[in-house]
Chain A
Amino acid sequence: MAGRVLVVGFGSGLVADDGIGPAVIRRLEALGPVPGVRVEHGGQDSLRLIGLWRGEPEVWLVDAIVRGAPPGTVHCLGHEELLAIPQQHGTAHQLSLPESLRWLALSYPDMAAVRYRLWGVEPERLELGVGLSPAVARAVDAVADEVRRAAGR
């Protein structure tokens, strides 16, 4: 039976602050399970969300997001706000996160009813390298705590 919430962290731990998603997921795993909540690593291809989803009505995402705020700033976006972000550019095999969510809804009617939420963290560096910059690393605990608080409501 599907739980209430699927939490997925997107990004690569080999691309500096793009590793915020995986880092938050590791933190959530370390903090222990929350009833009805499943956490997963999403990798870099947001279209692969369909392979992780098991019918949860809510999918919460954690990713790096560039909005021009100071590094480490956490942006909390609700369903409508997230899906209203236009496609900026993608790569050959990675469309932007909102574009991927729109395409998933078109291709899998069951997913069209999913409600999304995004915790996006402003990165400082998006280049090859292991490890988060200090400001972004400080956001890991904050996002993990906020996700757990939201899940407990």
Chain B
Amino acid sequence: MPAGRTVTVSHLGRIEGHGGISVRIVGDVVHEVNMDVFEGSRYYEALLKGRHFLEVQGIITRVCAICSASHTVAALTALEKALGLQQSARVHHLRGLLVLGATVESHALHVFALALPDFLGFPSVIAMAAEHPREVAFALRLKQLGNRIQELVGGRAIHPINTLVGGFGRLPGASALRSIREELGAALDPLMGTVDLVASIAVPDWPAQETLYVALKPYEDAYRFRGEELCTSRGERHPVESYRDLVREFTVEHSHAKHSALASGETYMVGSLARLKLWGHLLRGRAREAFERLFPRGVEDNALLNNWAQLVELIHCVERGMEVCDILLGMPEEASEMLAYDVRAGRGVGALEVPRGTLFHEYELDEEGRVVSANVITPTAQNLANVERDMRRAVERMIAKDAAIPEPRLKLGLEMVARAYDPCISCSVHVVRER
């Protein structure tokens, strides 16, 4: 039997949180691929039990500072469903703007600072500035614009406080919305310039393999990040309330985060590439142009393309953000908006497409509004099993092409696959519960 070797990436750089990779290879056979998540578990769901529903938002957003706006909107959506509350049009659009801001911030950093240096052969975003100074400078200003949108709507850039069950404490003024709209408009041309740069980059095919994708069906006939139906690229459809029928969680020894698979046992991918696969035909405007330019044959099965899918979504977020500003500016200016509601027992599921994929929050409340049970499933936790599957394929392809492939190249390939999913380890580990 040939001697085996283990390839270990002890710290996976440029991902959010602490994770690593280990791969066991014997001869030309890949025996084991693990994405190790060793960030500590958080037990947030257990912490919420017995708490009043008004405390939920403030606690659950602490899962992750980076994804706090996404967790806020998902939690509020679920709680309002449990209480039988119907969002007003203004609340709906403001929360939509908050999600767009969070996505701009997240995608801008991932595409420009984390993915592009890999593909262009630079060790870091600063090194990339030597040849691409305009893109590097623009990226940070775009990220900052995403922050400012979150500050305007959420009251601060992380852990929003202005977003409440039933409404908003203070509504953004018209001049602030006009200013944000103007800045979004100014971002479009530089973004389209990046599409030209990206279109010239050859994307390796190591991890490419047939993949199942899952994303929410938009609530209207347009590219949107919210919806009430969960769809697979195979045509299955489930109301979000019965997400547990489709998504099954399980624990693995090497990870503090749960993994997910479909009820059939198949792994799947959520995120920008999944959304484009299912709903790319709904894109309009310059996002549509970018989609057709970067995906001329439609979405192909290759996780590395998730980086380019995020770029398409950045353009969509900018265009949609301008539209939402216009809608809000067309409404009568008010200081605040809050629906009246009665506290009652109930269960609610909030599902939302956030930068890394579909996020689920579920809460059950008793008649006094105290949390009986809580469940959160993050996109990263859903993707982890598929990341391992794609890393296995990538290693198999790389050693098939070159059995003597140097270990640093193998490691870089593995890291690029993991990073393409843009994993948020901090979010993923909170879901493990002691039983």
Interface residue? A95 (CB, 8 A): yes
Contact status of A106 and B137, CB under 8 A, knowing A92-B110, A127-B40: yes
Q: How far is the CA of A51 from the CA of B158 in the complex (A)?
A: 12
Contact with A along B131-168 (1 / 0, CB 8 A): 00100111111011001100100000110000000000
The A/B interface has a contact count, at CB < 8 Å, of: 80
Contact status of A102 and B16, CB under 8 A, knowing A43-B65, A50-B144: no
Interface residue? B298 (CB, 8 A): no
Q: Are the C-beta atoms of B106 and A93 separated by less than 8 Å?
A: yes
Contact with B along A53-83 (1 / 0, CB 8 A): 0000000000000000000000000000000
Q: Are the C-beta atoms of B126 and A102 separated by less than 8 Å?
A: yes
Q: Are the C-beta atoms of B16 and A93 separated by less than 8 Å?
A: yes
Q: How far is the CA of A106 from the CA of B141 in the complex (A)?
A: 10
| Residue from the list A12, A90, A91, A106 in contact with B136, Cβ < 8 A | A106
Q: How far is the CA of A102 from the CA of B128 in the complex (A)?
A: 12
Q: How far is the CA of A107 from the CA of B138 in the complex (A)?
A: 7
Q: How far is the CA of A72 from the CA of B42 in the complex (A)?
A: 27
Q: How far is the CA of A63 from the CA of B158 in the complex (A)?
A: 19
Q: Are the C-beta atoms of B157 and A48 separated by less than 8 Å?
A: yes
Identify which of residues 35-51 in chain A touch chain B, using a CB-to-CB cut-off of 8 Å: 43-45, 47-48, 50-51
Q: Are the C-beta atoms of A48 and B40 separated by less than 8 Å?
A: no
Closest to A127 in B: B40
Q: Are the C-beta atoms of A92 and B114 separated by less than 8 Å?
A: yes
Contact with B along A90-127 (1 / 0, CB 8 A): 11111100010011101110000000000000000001
Interface residue? A89 (CB, 8 A): yes
Q: Which residues of B contact A50 (CB under 8 A)?
A: 140, 144
Interface residue? B423 (CB, 8 A): yes
Q: How far is the CA of A51 from the CA of B109 in the complex (A)?
A: 16
Q: Which residues of B contact A90 (CB under 8 A)?
A: 13-14
Q: Which residues of B contact A12 (CB under 8 A)?
A: 65
Interface residue? A85 (CB, 8 A): no
Q: How far is the CA of A89 from the CA of B15 in the complex (A)?
A: 9
Contact status of A14 and B62, CB under 8 A, knowing A50-B144, A92-B110: yes
| Residue from the list B42, B123, B148, B423 in contact with A92, Cβ < 8 A | B423
Interface residue? B17 (CB, 8 A): yes
Q: Are the C-beta atoms of B126 and A51 separated by less than 8 Å?
A: no
Chain A interfacial residues counted at CB < 8 A: 26
Interface centre among B133, B137, B141 (most CB of A within 10 A): B137
Q: Which residues of A contact B66 (CB under 8 A)?
A: 45, 92-93
Q: Are the C-beta atoms of A47 and B143 separated by less than 8 Å?
A: yes
Interface residue? A31 (CB, 8 A): no
Contact status of A91 and B42, CB under 8 A, knowing A99-B126, A106-B136, A107-B137: no
| Residue from the list A47, A92, A106 in contact with B16, Cβ < 8 A | A92
A115 to chain B, nearest CB (A): 19
Interface residue? A128 (CB, 8 A): yes
Q: Which residues of B contact A43 (CB under 8 A)?
A: 65, 157-158
Q: How far is the CA of A127 from the CA of B17 in the complex (A)?
A: 12
Interface residue? B240 (CB, 8 A): no
Q: Which residues of A contact B65 (CB under 8 A)?
A: 12, 43-45
| Residue from the list A48, A92, A99, A108 in contact with B422, Cβ < 8 A | A92
Contact with A along B3-18 (1 / 0, CB 8 A): 0000000010111110
Chain A residues near B (Cβ < 8 Å):
12, 14, 43-45, 47-48, 50-51, 87, 89-95, 99, 102-104, 106-108, 127-128
A-B contact pairs, 16 of them (CB 8 A): A45-B65, A47-B144, A51-B148, A51-B151, A87-B123, A90-B13, A92-B66, A92-B109, A93-B110, A95-B125, A103-B136, A103-B140, A104-B140, A106-B140, A107-B137, A128-B40
